[in-house]
Structure 1
């Protein structure tokens, strides 16, 4: 835990010093108990930004290759992603798969926070795509509050076709918790869809993005 907090504070200081972000609504994160963070997704850096800036730890998925790459770079990557609470997942495995959701369910049942992108993958054109229903399943299965997050401008931290981190101002808006009745893991798809759409409406209000009724499609480089 000491290493985890040290990495979070270090990255938080780096982000604050180089990007001077606008951060609103951190008081909306529950001080105790499980919670689900549901952000829009514009950048490779979104997860670590949320993990660093939230007042409580948030576990996100990260590609398994970040944990298995060899050499010095690989060791640094593995150390970083482990220390910020990332969960390795194999390339091509959907975040809404049964096993992936079970992992997140276990974390929530332990009273901790998790992060999930309802869009599934990052938006490359700035549009907010239709939400996949994994987030709705988690909300109904656990009764944990959902914290919608609107990220604005994080795509500038790594412009298309470039590598590395480019300091740039961005905004993170943390919305008020959304509460849904706990029904357990067995509930109807329409109920799951209704909850997911409600969460996406809240994200859209925070981010101000144009919306699409289609799902975003993963690309090999995501």
Structure 2
């Protein structure tokens, strides 16, 4: 019902193309780890999947008053967003518990390892919550790259503009070799870096080895974009950057398609 109500409008606006759909398992739990370029990421990705996927969202989205507040809450529920109370410094734990419950039920759980939207289209250092989620649940991690959503909805723009956007789905990552090691911070960082490296490989994004929230704070403080986040390793974990480019959409079809 959710996609029946919301999906047609979003499909018409964005005409999403997708590659790697076969990497999404037909059943069983899986963590969908995506880059994050725009608010609409959480709305567009479910359009191309046969299975329901849920993301978490700020509880404030669901508690607004007036017509605008009710419309926002209804839309967030319509696209499968789960409200999480992020007050009191408990955001990470609340997100983890929500994800673990979803995975225990055999579902798909979407998470943004960067923790917030990229301020400039680059890929930023991942937070280790995604690694904890993977090791505690035992579920595979499937990297997903959103392509062009930042062009459709630049930061600061409430309403996105209609344009074609894409989704590239990478091969599942198995971290079962680290079972029982979810409290080892070095393992958590290694797993997180591996996930971000995979995201970098399929998205073609430039990598910056600082947190996106730190970069946003620097930009807000007046630090020039060319000065912030330039002295960084070429890829997560200090590895050499893969030789990739931003994926291009298929040319042969004007509407939604699967390569």
Give the TM-score, by structure 1 length. 0.88
Q: Contact (CA 8 Å) 1:41, 1:122: kept in 2 or not?
A: yes
Q: How far does the alpha carbon of each residue in 1:148-186 deviate from its partner, in whole angstroms, 9 at most, with x for none?
A: 001111012222333212111111101111111162474
2:164 is matched with which residue: 169, 173, 178? 169
Separation of aligned partners in 2, 1:95 and 1:52: 30
> Does residue 189 of the first structure (1) align with residue 185 of the second (2)?
yes
SS for the counterpart of 2:212 is: coil
Residue equivalent to 2:256: none
CA contact (8 A) 1:58 1:114 kept: yes
Q: Alpha-carbon deviation of 1:121?
A: 0.2
Match of 1:202 among 190, 198, 202: 198
d(CA) in 2 for partners of 1:58, 1:196: 21
Work out the CA distance in 2 between the residues paired with 1:134 and 1:201. 16
Compute the displacement of 1:111 (Å): 0.8
Residue matched to 1:31: 26
For the pair shown, the structure with the greater C-alpha radius of gyration is 2
Residues 1:130 and 2:125 are matched in the alignment? yes
Tell me, yes or no, if structure 1 residue 154 matches structure 2 residue 158: no
CA distance in 1, matches of 2:120, 2:87: 21
Aligned positions of 1:19-168 closer than 5 A: 19-91=14-86, 97-168=92-163
Aligned residue number for residue 3 of structure 1: none
5+ residue gaps, structure 2: 218-259
Give the structure 2 partner of residue 13 of structure 1: 8
Cα contact 1:9–1:52 (8 A) shared by 2? no
Query: Aligned partners of 1:85 and 1:186: how far apart in 2?
Result: 28
- CA positional deviation for 1:45: 0.6
CA contact (8 A) 1:146 1:178 kept: yes
SS of residue matched to 1:88: strand
Unaligned runs of 5+ in 1: 1-5
RMSD: 2.1
Q: Secondary structure at the match of 1:60?
A: strand
Cα distance in 2, alignment partners of residues 36 and 112 from structure 1: 9
Deviation at 1:37?
0.4
Cα offset for 1:89? 2.3
> Which secondary structure state, in structure 2, belongs to the residue aligned with residue 147 of structure 1?
strand
TM superposition shift of 1:187: 3.4
CA distance in 2, matches of 1:94, 1:42: 24
| Residue 254 of structure 2: aligned partner | none
